[in-house]
Amino acid sequence: MARKLMPRQGTRTHPLIWILAIIGVLLAVAVILTGIFIFVVYLIYQPRLPYIKVAYAHLNKLVYDQSGSLDTEMAITIVAENDNTRANATISDLDFFIKFHGIELAELIADPFEIEKNHSVELKYVVPSAMVPLDESAMASMDAALRQDRVPFDLLGSAKMRWRVGIFLSVKFWAHLSCRIEFSYANMSSLGLDCSSKTH
């Protein structure tokens, strides 16, 4: 007697699997739409990162005695540039240090401020330092610098920058300065000033 083959019933997919699949599709669509939105905003605004640069530096005073004590005063102009034509920028947590041979001489700070689109803001500092004792290595460096008429100081620090692109997109980053500024002791002017920030 021939056996009858019974058709096998297909297993039903669990509803949870369908829900997870739908969620995955929705997330993928959301990512794609977000990418398209950011790209369109970029094309419209064509954003440029704001930056900070040293526009002017002058050594008003340098007193260095035989005991190794250093007394300085500098005039420094820092410019925050915002080349964006459609977005304002905000600067906060600005904190820079002036050092000689790793020895801190002065600190430059500023309250938070805003830069309008396609504008710049100048920060003018006159930075005195109290008598700072130099160690033997720093004294040797200062002696050599005075003989060569090229006195180097390091400007180090960072500032937090933020600018808004469109209504929803806000960009935050850090601008870092790490520059060596050299002065002629003969006329106290800066030599080959080239100092601008790098972003991170």
pLDDT digits (tens, 9 = 90+) for 32-82: 887 777 666 666 665 678 899 999 999 999 999 989 999 999 999 999 999
What is the C-alpha R_g of the chain? 30
CATH number of the domain that 176 lies in? 2.60.40
Q: What is the pLDDT of residue 17?
A: 82
**109 lies in the same domain as 130:** yes
Is 77 part of a structural domain of the chain? Answer: yes
- 3-class SS at 40? helix
pLDDT at 77: 98
Q: What is the mean pLDDT of the chain?
A: 88
> By residue range, what is the domain housing residue 41?
15-45
SS3 content of the chain, % helix, strand, coil (to 5): 20, 50, 30
Q: Are residues 60 and 150 in the same domain?
A: yes
Spatial CA neighbour of 111 closest among 87, 129, 95 = 95
- Tokens 């599709």 found at: 25
Q: In the chain, which residue ranges form alpha helices assigned H by DSSP?
A: 15-45, 136-148
- Please state the φ and ψ torsions of residue 17, each to the nearest 5 degrees: -65, -45
Query: In Å, how far are 19, 29, 65, 136 from 15, measured between CA atoms?
Result: 6, 21, 85, 78
- What region, left, alpha or beta, does residue 43 occupy, with left being phi > 0 and alpha being psi -120 to 50 degrees? alpha
Do 24 and 65 reside in the same domain of the chain? no
Looking at the DSSP bridge assignments, the partners of residue 69 are 133
pTM to 2 decimal places: 0.75
Q: Is residue 1 part of a domain?
A: no
